[in-house]
Copies of this chain bind each other. A is one copy, B any other.
Amino acid sequence: MTNGKEDKEITIYDIAKRLKISPATVSRALQDHPRISAKTKKKIFELADEVGYRRNHFAGNLRSQKTQTIGVIVPRLNSHFMSSVIAGIELMANEHGYSLLISQSSESARKEADSAEAMFNSRVDGLMVSLAYDTNTLDHFDKFFRKKTPVIFFDRVKPHRSATSILIDNYQAAYDATKHLIEQHCKKIVHITAPPMQNVYKDRLAGYRSALEDAKIKFREENVIVTNLTQEAGYESAEKILKMKPLPDGIFVANDSCAIGCMIALKEKGIRIPEQIAFVGFNNDPMSTVIEPKLTTIAYSGFEMGEVAGRLLVNHLNSTSQINNTTTIILRSDLIVRQSSLKSPAGH
């Protein structure tokens, strides 16, 4: 029930006047300042509520030199994984009164730098980034580092002495994936991945290689196919695979979309999966249960990664202490076995 004119914004001055107290007291009460008596606080809160007071962020932020805004730069928005991450971040941020400024690099280092610049100009309090496909330097974040604005890299990260990283153990996950194929008696295992410029692909390649070597299978350069990991790339990779002699009997792909593109193409050529070629993907995209046979994959939660990153940043921002910045957080990932990799009926 608002009575009278609704369109005039209420300020702390209005409240102060009506309560015959000073604006400073109102300001402090609204911030739950300890040195204000419970009584006055109550009065103030009640009136504020009644007249529909809303804090003017611009005035407050101008004064306090804080923006209450977190910048997020991702390669693309429209992947299941990334939008889950954003959802996780959004949850934490909203809970703590932060807003999100979201921007996509479209997998381009240049656009990533532009976005960083824009974020910097917006004076975000903190920045969360998953690096673009071809980012190979962190120079465009120097401004943030110099200004001690916290920067968190997630999933696609590069180590930096003044940034936090959140990721999974890509090496181990790839090792497990490859080992699983070996246990299914695969002898020639191909790895489809992106250029090893990003940690995720470098580590997955290393895990793949180690698993092979531990099983006394020789690692061969020619069994690694480097693509951009899109579904189309997977489709095209199938041609290369069909030319291999002998045909591989197992393929470990560094992401699900690409694996699925490849599977579709191979199936069209009459290859039987998993009998002739077994498949393991990466990411547990919803599509992995739609493809036939269902895709064995590495699962890790984007939502959780977003939550963790968000919580970390919020804690950092709310604590006055300078937290040690160069942390690395490893989240859990799991191999999910589905039909696409099961040569032997139900785990031999």
Contact = CB atoms under 8 A, between A and B. Distances in A.
Contacts of A147: 7
Identical chains in the assembly: 2
Interface stretch (A29-37, A244-252, A285-293, A334-342): A285-293
Contact of A57 (B56, B86, B123): B123
A143 to B, nearest CB: 8
A101 B100 contact: yes
A146 B94 CA distance: 26
A59 B123 CA distance: 12
A147 B2 CA distance: 14
A217 interface: no
A77 B104 CA distance: 14
A120 B57 CA distance: 12
Interface in A47-97: 54-59, 61-62, 67, 76-80, 82-84, 86-87, 90, 94
A292 B294 CA distance: 12
A121 interface: yes
Contact of A58 (B62, B77, B146): B62
A231 interface: yes
A221 interface: no
B55 A121 contact: yes
A228 interface: no
Interface of A: 6-7, 54-59, 61-62, 67, 76-80, 82-84, 86-87, 90, 94, 99-104, 118, 120-123, 146-147, 231, 257, 260, 264, 286-287, 289-292
